[in-house]
Amino acid sequence: MQNDTEQREGFTTLGLSDHQPAEAAIADGYRQQALSGANWFFWIAGFSVINSIVLLAKGEWNFLIGLGVTQLIDGVAFSAAERLGGAATVIALFLDAMVAGFFVVMGLMARRGFAWAFVLGMVAYTLDALLFVYVQAWANVAFHAFALYFIYRGFAANNAFKRLQAETAAPPA
């Protein structure tokens, strides 16, 4: 058995036998990092829904990972509840679910390897961060930047994984 050591963009294979080529281990590393980046969209959606439920139940805390747009929707609903009653809460929860659903779909599509889902999700989350910039909620802005970094790493790993797949699928020259 021959031992190979190879390193590509942060992934190293040490002591692999001929039965497990270095490319397969590197590809698996890329794929795992891509999935990890895609999973951030699920966390964003889930914590946004939790934040909405807490706010609409008159709670006074929230998670930094949540979305500013859902907080805006909930704030408007909270103000409108005096005039509209429970209908404002129902409408807000419906809109919150739609926004969260968008991020769930981005997570599902990103997990399937669609680069456009990473990009569209990152653009939407960046625009959401601008809401926090506007209200000067710097902790939320910082957390958005933190999450975007890991989503971007997933996007880059997804692209590297696809390149590696294309290289190994191409016939030798």
pLDDT, tens digit, 9 for 90 and up, residues 105-150: 999 999 999 999 999 999 999 999 999 999 999 999 999 999 999 9
Residues 41 and 110: beta-carbon distance below 8 Å: yes
Instruction: Identify residue 146 by its one-letter amino acid code.
Output: F
Q: Pick from 48-62, 104-118, 153-167 the range whose average pLDDT is largest.
A: 104-118
10 Ramachandran zone, left/alpha/beta (phi>0; psi -120 to 50): left
Is the pTM higher than 0.85? Answer: no
Q: Return d(Cα 18, Cα 162) in angstroms, integer.
A: 23
Q: Return d(Cα 38, Cα 41) in angstroms, integer.
A: 6
**pLDDT score of 38 more than 80:** yes
Q: Return d(Cα 49, Cα 62) in angstroms, integer.
A: 10
Q: Return d(Cα 68, Cα 131) in angstroms, integer.
A: 6
Mean predicted lDDT score pLDDT of the chain: 87
Longest dimension (CA), the chain: 76
